[in-house]
Amino acid sequence: MIHTDLPIHRTGVRLLSLAVEVQQHMPRGVKRSLGDKLAHHCIEMLDLMAMANATRQGERMQHLRALMARHRAMLVLLRVSVDARYISTKRWASAIELLDSIGKQAHGWINKTANKAPAA
């Protein structure tokens, strides 16, 4: 299956779209720093999804672990953004919903990959 057909990838694209929208509405002082980081993490997550889909076992797990690290970073950046009132609560809630979906799908992928690992 091509990575663009994966539900996790489609959710990631929606998250990137939201991140770009959020960045456009941020105050000028944080738009380039915080807004760019949000969009960059989304792009990295999409790239890691593609890499995980294209690899097997150990390599796949490395990509999925990196994906989850970006996921955690996004949660922190979004929390900082909403606490500082750089983004609206509505946009924050939408982003968290998408991130939760990505996290659940990634954990399912991790579990499936781990169960396929050969016994040592």
Q: Give the span between the Cα atoms of 49 and 51, in whole angstroms.
A: 5
Residues 94-107 pLDDT 10s: 999 999 999 999 99
Let me know if residue 94 belongs to a domain.
Answer: yes
| Domain of residue 71, residue span | 3-114
Instruction: Specify the pTM.
Output: 0.89
Let me know if residue 120 belongs to a domain.
Answer: no
Let me know if residue 64 belongs to a domain.
Answer: yes
Q: Which of 89, 6, 76 is nearest to 37 (CA)?
A: 76
Residues 27-84 pLDDT 10s: 999 999 999 999 999 999 999 999 999 998 889 999 999 999 999 999 999 999 999 9
Let me know if residue 119 belongs to a domain.
Answer: no
Q: Name the band, by pLDDT with cuts 50, 70 and 90, for residue 2.
A: confident
Q: Which of 87, 80, 73, 65 is nearest to 19 (CA)?
A: 87
Let me know if residue 101 belongs to a domain.
Answer: yes
Let me know if residue 16 belongs to a domain.
Answer: yes
Q: Give the span between the Cα atoms of 100 and 86, in whole angstroms.
A: 21
Q: Domains in the chain: how many in total?
A: 1
Let me know if residue 86 belongs to a domain.
Answer: yes
**Residue 60's domain is classified under what CATH number?**
1.20.1440.60
Let me know if residue 61 belongs to a domain.
Answer: yes
Q: Give the span between the Cα atoms of 52 and 32, in whole angstroms.
A: 29
